[in-house]
Structure 1
Amino acid sequence: MYVPCPHNSEVICEGLHQVLVEWHLERKISTVTLDNCAANDKAIWNMEDKLDSNSLMLQGKLIHMRWCVHILNLIVQDGMSVLKEGIERVRDSVAYWSATPKRHERFEKMARTLNIPYTRKIGLDCKTRWNSTYLMLSTALPYQEIFYRLSRQVKQFDCCPTIEDWNFAKEVCDKLKIFYDIIELLSGTKYVTSNILFPKICCIRLVIRKWSATNNELMQKICEEMKEKFDKYWLDVHGLMAMATILDPRYKTHMLQALFGSLYGYEHAANKVDELKNLMVELLLEYKESDEPAASVQVAAQVDKDQEDEAGILLDQYMMQQPIVSSQLCTELDLYLEEPALPRTQEVDIITWWKVGGMKYPTLQRIARDILPIPVTTVASEYAFSTSGRILSAHRSRLAPKTTEALMCMQAWSRDNMFDNVTSDHFAIQSVLEDEQEAMEECESEITIED
């Protein structure tokens, strides 16, 4: 969807609402996942006035889902802001030996001489993207001996990292790997991610606390920056994603008790879990009330069908007049929580489980249907914004816009095994690629003639 300038909250809100109305989705919204931007926050606040609050979960209290992968990246970036000096010589060394093909060839030759498998090509990172810094460090670390040998042979190479530099780089790489693996996991598109977000977020808080006990002053400063940013966004993903964890039959409230116990102490953990259970009870009441009209229609149809069953008619009419008692709903939740949890290590298709096993809990089943599919991020991965760097390389920087678009589409379709379903679009893109190839060949022939 194209949003005209200026990209303020009013324009974003109006554009989003227009699309929802056009697709007839304005009464079918559970959450809207957005990144952490002031304009987006205000846009969601304005959006609540345009939507029917009765169609939203808890009158719209849960409509704004924070883009958690973006938040994790902000946490890491704040910590990495003090990292420049610690890995500067490693970055300079990688930059030196990857600057030209001739230098890289010599680096590769030294790897063969030392009998070190050169399976991953070294490459310079982008300083504003921490994940590329992680990849640079994880790639360079196995080749410490190569850098050292070359520093003794090449006088111009005067920035070889010291042993302390490598040790610090390894420590940083080990810590960044946790964030990298979690973000890769949360960026999945073929499985549910909402139920695993809360445990992973809590694990990050626990490891930051553990890292702060190190004797390295620079690492302590990094942890302080990460902790400050984490505490700022903690409440943004606290309630809704904790309920998604409860709806995982392997975790339920046991996972919350364990995590809250480690974070706050087990006495305070019980209060936190009770708050979340009360929130789920509110949802149960709301979903049960929304079922009443449909239930009334169903009973009325049954009455017309079974005219001869006078006793059944009287019972149905009596039940329709009875008020909903919250304890009955609490019983449904209690029954689910009291049922033994599935083994934690068991692979579970949680959507299928609720579709089949959750039939015993019809109201909870509807809640699970709306909460579990909530995406915790809006892109396949945070660094997907830099896709152009992997398509428009330094040696292939003159591709036409249509060709670039075709390459990106074919890459995505190939990754998702969609080629079997692609017909006309595939041939259209193939035609664009062929036209572009012909144009490039003509251009090359003209240059040859001029030469």
Structure 2
Amino acid sequence: MVQDAFVKIIDIINKVHGLSSSVKSLPLWNRTIFDLQQALKLRAMGEFSSKKIIDFHDVPSPEEWQKVEGVCKIVGSIYEVSNALFETKHLTPNVYLYHLHELHEILTKMSTDSDSFIRTIAEDMLNKFVKYWDNMFLLLAIAAVLDPRFKMKCIEFVCSKVKGRDRNSQVAAVLGAICKHFDEYKILFPEKENFMSDSSSSDSNSGHSPSPAHVNHIFGVLKDYYRFIQSSNQPTKKSDLDCYLEEPILLGARILVN
């Protein structure tokens, strides 16, 4: 995505490369953007305006420098987001949605820029980014919901900001996926019943005379009674997931720890 932006000004990058030995076009895109930013600083200081430089080098025109500034504006913003993600200690997937949403907002804003060159590049980037966003959204959203700083409020917020998407259906899809996984977890790791088993009853009465035969019948009725309560319209106990989602969001907590 970033390399596509550099390709659009590759001839200008080569010109900038020829102006100074400190400015190089390297394979690493983050290094390339740093070098271009340095070149812009040198230009602002008048380093490339002397007659000697102009006579012996193919100096970019003002319009070309403007394109370099535009690319630096876009790619520089992408670098800030990627740096926040990948230069962070103990990176966990719960923060990906937060930062990628930030990038989505940046590209969306730049896709309406008054400069047609910036607008075209941003639109191309946004189209490619949206494809990744659509493929990964559900997975990233689930990870974000499990962060007590975000939960479903974060999903509702993100879905309300992303245009061209059905907010309610996306929120419902995320909640449905989380509930599905939680239900599968409960099947794999069921809660132990609190009913007293026959063996525990006999152990507790060890050393005493055998219990009357009708006691077992009473315990059987008690179990049936509990099952009846669970299947009736009585208020049911909330699951751990319900309790978690209903707890307040941890406001003020830092998103990342460097």
Q: Note closer, same or farther for the CA distance 1:346–1:153 as it changes in structure 2 (3 Å cut).
A: same
The answer for the alignment partner of 1:269 in structure 2 is: 167
Work out which of the residue numbers 294, 308, 326 in structure 1 matches 2:204. Answer: 308
1:290 aligns with 2:188: yes
Q: Which amino acid aligns with 1:147?
A: E
The answer for the alignment partner of 1:234 in structure 2 is: 133
The answer for the alignment partner of 1:333 in structure 2 is: 241
Q: Which has the larger radius of gyration?
A: 2
Task: Tell me the distance in 2 between the aligned counterparts of 1:182 and 1:255.
Answer: 18
Q: C-alpha deviations, 1:6-34, integer Å up to 9, x for none? A: xxxxxxxxxxxxxxxxxxxxxxxxxxxxx
Q: Which amino acid aligns with 1:95?
A: G
Matched-pair contact (CA < 8 Å) for 1:78–1:229: no
1:94 aligns with 2:2: no
Task: Tell me the distance in 1 between the aligned counterparts of 2:115 and 2:100.
Answer: 24
Q: Which amino acid aligns with 2:33?
A: Y
The answer for the alignment partner of 1:435 in structure 2 is: none
CA shift, 1:189, in A, is: 6.3
The answer for the alignment partner of 2:10 in structure 1 is: 84
Q: Which amino acid aligns with 1:340?
A: P
Q: C-alpha deviations, 1:368-424, integer Å up to 9, x for none? A: xxxxxxxxxxxxxxxxxxxxxxxxxxxxxxxxxxxxxxxxxxxxxxxxxxxxxxxxx
Matched-pair contact (CA < 8 Å) for 1:281–1:330: no
Task: Tell me the distance in 2 between the aligned counterparts of 1:243 and 1:251.
Answer: 10
Q: Note closer, same or farther for the CA distance 1:295–1:207 as it changes in structure 2 (3 Å cut).
A: same
The answer for the alignment partner of 2:208 in structure 1 is: none
Q: Note closer, same or farther for the CA distance 1:288–1:155 as it changes in structure 2 (3 Å cut).
A: closer
Q: Which amino acid aligns with 1:143?
A: L
Q: Partner of 1:148: helix, strand, or coil?
A: coil
Q: Note closer, same or farther for the CA distance 1:204–1:154 as it changes in structure 2 (3 Å cut).
A: closer
Q: C-alpha deviations, 1:327-368, integer Å up to 9, x for none? A: 96864323212211111x423789xxxxxxxxxxxxxxxxxx
Q: Note closer, same or farther for the CA distance 1:280–1:329 as it changes in structure 2 (3 Å cut).
A: farther
Q: Note closer, same or farther for the CA distance 1:288–1:125 as it changes in structure 2 (3 Å cut).
A: same
CA shift, 1:239, in A, is: 0.9
RMSD value, Cα: 3.8
The answer for the alignment partner of 2:85 in structure 1 is: 186
Q: Note closer, same or farther for the CA distance 1:146–1:281 as it changes in structure 2 (3 Å cut).
A: same
Task: Tell me the distance in 2 between the aligned counterparts of 1:96 and 1:143.
Answer: 10
Q: Note closer, same or farther for the CA distance 1:154–1:306 as it changes in structure 2 (3 Å cut).
A: farther
Q: C-alpha deviations, 1:264-308, integer Å up to 9, x for none? A: 379x3122111110100100111111113x848x9999x659932
The answer for the alignment partner of 1:61 in structure 2 is: none
Q: Partner of 1:347: helix, strand, or coil?
A: coil
Task: Tell me the distance in 2 between the aligned counterparts of 1:306 and 1:137.
Answer: 82
Matched-pair contact (CA < 8 Å) for 1:198–1:245: yes
Question: Identity, % of aligned pairs?
Answer: 23
Q: Which amino acid aligns with 1:281?
A: C
Q: Note closer, same or farther for the CA distance 1:169–1:214 as it changes in structure 2 (3 Å cut).
A: same
Q: Which runs of 5+ in 2 are unaligned?
A: 206-210
Q: Which amino acid aligns with 2:242?
A: D
CA shift, 1:194, in A, is: 0.7
CA shift, 1:322, in A, is: 5.7
Q: Which amino acid aligns with 1:334?
A: D
1:133 aligns with 2:32: yes
Task: Tell me the distance in 2 between the aligned counterparts of 1:349 and 1:217.
Answer: 35
Task: Tell me the distance in 2 between the aligned counterparts of 1:77 and 1:232.
Answer: 17
Q: How many residues align?
A: 239
Q: C-alpha deviations, 1:111-155, integer Å up to 9, x for none? A: xxxxxxxxxxx33022x5432221111222221124234x32345
Matched-pair contact (CA < 8 Å) for 1:198–1:237: no
Q: Which amino acid aligns with 2:84?
A: L
Q: Partner of 2:112: helix, strand, or coil?
A: coil
What pairs with 1:168-183 in structure 2 (closer than 5 Å)?
A: 168-183=67-82
CA shift, 1:249, in A, is: 1.1
1:148 aligns with 2:48: yes
Q: Which amino acid aligns with 2:203?
A: Q
Matched-pair contact (CA < 8 Å) for 2:3–2:29: yes
Q: Note closer, same or farther for the CA distance 1:156–1:280 as it changes in structure 2 (3 Å cut).
A: same
What TM-score results when the alignment is normalised by the length of structure 1?
A: 0.45
Q: Which amino acid aligns with 2:73?
A: D
Q: Note closer, same or farther for the CA distance 1:231–1:328 as it changes in structure 2 (3 Å cut).
A: farther
1:123 aligns with 2:23: yes
Q: Partner of 1:140: helix, strand, or coil?
A: helix
Q: Which amino acid aligns with 1:125?
A: S
